[in-house]
Structure 1
Amino acid sequence: MKESWRVAGLAGVDVHDDARAMRAWRWMQWVLFALSLLAIPAFYFELAAASRFHLAGRALYASMSAGFTMVLGRIAFLSRKPERFITRNAYDVLIAAGSAISVAWGALPWSPLEWLLRVVFVGLVAARIVVSLRSFFSPGRLGLLLVIAVLLLASAGAGFYWLEPGVHTYAEGVWLAFESSATVGYGDMAPTTPASRVFAAFVVLLGYGLLSLVFASIAATFVEQEERILRREMHRDIKALRDEIAALRQDVQAAAGGEARVAAASAGPVKPAASHPGESH
């Protein structure tokens, strides 16, 4: 698994690297996670018609690029092999470069090529966010998954309320977010603008995956209860089997001791050895 992360460019700091670099990476990787979150509002701010939102989006991209560059540069400075560290984290280098390009390139309306590149870039950032949280997305953490699911629906509802003209209330935005994440598709509401459709694509990908984890966690809870009962029964059977084996061993030892006593008794007393002529008495 670690080898796959190295090939993907998300390997972090090598365990054999400098201790200072490893300590810095433990908390700086969460700085990179926070910076990655800036790409989502930046993408939609640049789609807004108001110039202040457009400038805010570019400012977020600039902050993201500068932050990634400083963090990667700091860890590379502390690393014994900075070239190897940069190679192991080529994915983050790509995000830093993509956010820098997003600052200087692209006045509205976007061309089809720029639409494609920007959607791919946001998809790469979204994948990095999921990878950063992979340790939290385990089926055994039902409570945490439910909280994240509620937050996702709440934020997605606000996003649809802002981006979709057909959504007139926040409740309708939450309903559209649920329809999208659950892939229900009743047809009563649907994204109509390019911005809301792109947003819906990410809601489907993240929401469907998260809901799948929630249901998997619920199923795992019932399976775990049955496994716990089976483990208790297995331990009880193993204990009973050990007691039977111990009792059987005692019986075998007792039987062996009895046979030895019977054999000794049937042999009779030991006769003294006959004396030879000429021996002194």
Structure 2
Amino acid sequence: MTPAPSRLQRWTVTAALVLTIPAFYAELLLAVPSVLADIAYGLAAMTVLLTELPRWRADLAATQGSTRLRARLGGRHLLVLALITGLVGAAALPPSLHSTAALTLRLITAILTLAYMLWSLQHLLARGSLPVLLALALTVLFLCGVGFWWLEPGVTTLADGLWLAFTTAATVGYGDLVPTTAASKIFSVFVVLLGYGVLSLVTAAIASTWVESSERALEQQMMRDLHQEVSLLRSELARWRAVQTPLPVPPHGPDRHRHERV
């Protein structure tokens, strides 16, 4: 059986991938290579590799023949390989400010990173996890506000950054604050994607909670009615047994023939 990463491993790899977000914008805004950004990309690649290595070994050990091997190495394994390759390439390439190819690779890597993070945190999306989803939504919006505060020159306070993050995630677009730089526009794309995902999950969780409450109340009412019906049936059966007279039992042995002659 393929071993699944533990909760600690999932949070560790998620934290390492989160560090690539400021690394992406550092490479986009700075004219010189950023050592810290390269370290963040390299650390993320190493963390993903160490997390996925036991799973790969188990899958390779379980394969018998090239057909099964191709089937097991498809899909998610290709995503992980592409993510590790992209992270290594993002650390090795020059700053995105001077290279369109480097910017394209880092954008693709950012999308792969987002997909992998969603897979790593899918255990938080279990049934009845509304408080966790609310906390996740608030955390994502706060980090997006901080990002706009850092990237957008027109955002001078954290409150403005939070407001721009909310209006962008909710796709409202009032027009009082808008992204103007290339970095903030790219950031807005990811904010919209995160907003669709996180806010939709919160809305679905709230609706699910209401539906579950209604279903639970209906089930309880049905169980009470069922118990009442069973109690009535038992009472009727007891009364029926009480009014029934037992049939006479014919005698046995010699008395039987005497009884028949009489």
- Say which is worse superposed, 84-93 or 192-201, in terms of deviation: 84-93
Aligned equivalent of 2:226, options 238, 245, 253: 238
User: What's the offset of the Cα at 1:66?
Assistant: 2.8
Task: Give the corresponding residue for 2:9.
Answer: 28
Residue type matched to 1:125 in 2? T
Answer with 66-75 or 137-146: which moved more.
66-75
1:45-76 Cα distance to aligned partner (Å, 9 max, x none):
11122647x33212211222233334444665
For residues 225 and 271 of structure 1, the distance between their equivalents in structure 2, rounded to whole angstroms, comes to: 72
Letter in 2 for 1:205: L
Aligned partner letter, 2:42: A
Task: Kindly provide the amino acid, as one letter, of the partner of residue 228 in structure 1.
Answer: R
Counterpart in 2 of 1:261? 247
1:226 to 206, 214, 225: 214
Letter in 2 for 1:146: L
Uncovered stretches (5+) of structure 1, i.e. residues with no partner: 1-14, 275-281
Q: Report if the CA contact (8 A) 1:181-1:206 is conserved.
A: yes
Counterpart check, 1:156 vs 2:136 = no
- The whole-number CA distance in structure 2 between the counterparts of 1:73 and 1:139 is 30
Q: Which range moved further: 178-187 or 27-36?
A: 27-36
Say if 2:131 is the partner of 1:143. Answer: yes
| RMSD, aligned α-carbons | 3.1
The reply on whether 1:59 has 2:39 as its aligned counterpart is yes
SS in 1 for 2:247: helix
- 1:228-268 Cα distance to aligned partner (Å, 9 max, x none): 3222211110101111222333345456x43x53898xxxx
1:149–1:106: structure 2 CA closer, same or farther, 3 Å change rule? same
Return the offset for 1:120. 2.0
Question: Are the aligned partners of 1:46 and 1:55 in contact in 2 as well (CA < 8 Å)?
Answer: no
* 1:128 to partner: Cα distance: 1.0
Cα 1:111–1:131 shift into 2, 3 Å: same
Provide the residue aligned with 1:279 in structure 2.
none
1:176 aligns with 2:164: yes
Structure 2 unpaired stretches of 5+ = 64-68
Q: Which amino acid aligns with 1:40?
A: I
Moved more, 40-49 or 212-221: 212-221
Partner residue of 2:176 out of 182, 188, 199 = 188
- 8 A contact 2:148–2:161 mirrored in 1: yes
Q: Is the 8 A contact 2:90 2:102 kept in 1?
A: no
Tell me how far apart the structure 2 counterparts of residues 120 and 134 of structure 1 sit (CA, whole Å).
21
Partner amino acid for 1:41? P
Q: CA deviation at 1:40?
A: 1.4
State the identity as a percent. 33
In 1, the alpha carbon distance for the partners of 2:17 and 2:233 equals 61
Q: Aligned to 2:215, what secondary structure does the other structure show?
A: helix
Deviation at 1:186, TM superposition (A): 0.7
| Structure 2 counterpart of 1:198 | 186
Partner of 1:121: 109
Instruction: State the secondary structure of the residue aligned to 1:248.
Output: helix
Structure 2 residue identity aligned to 1:63: L
Amino acid in the other structure paired with 1:39: T
**Which is higher, the Rg of structure 1 or of structure 2?**
1
Residue 124 of structure 2 aligns to a residue whose secondary structure is coil
CA distance in 2 between partners of 1:28 and 1:217 (Å):
26
Q: TM-score, normalised by structure 1?
A: 0.75
Please state if 1:92 is matched with 2:97.
no
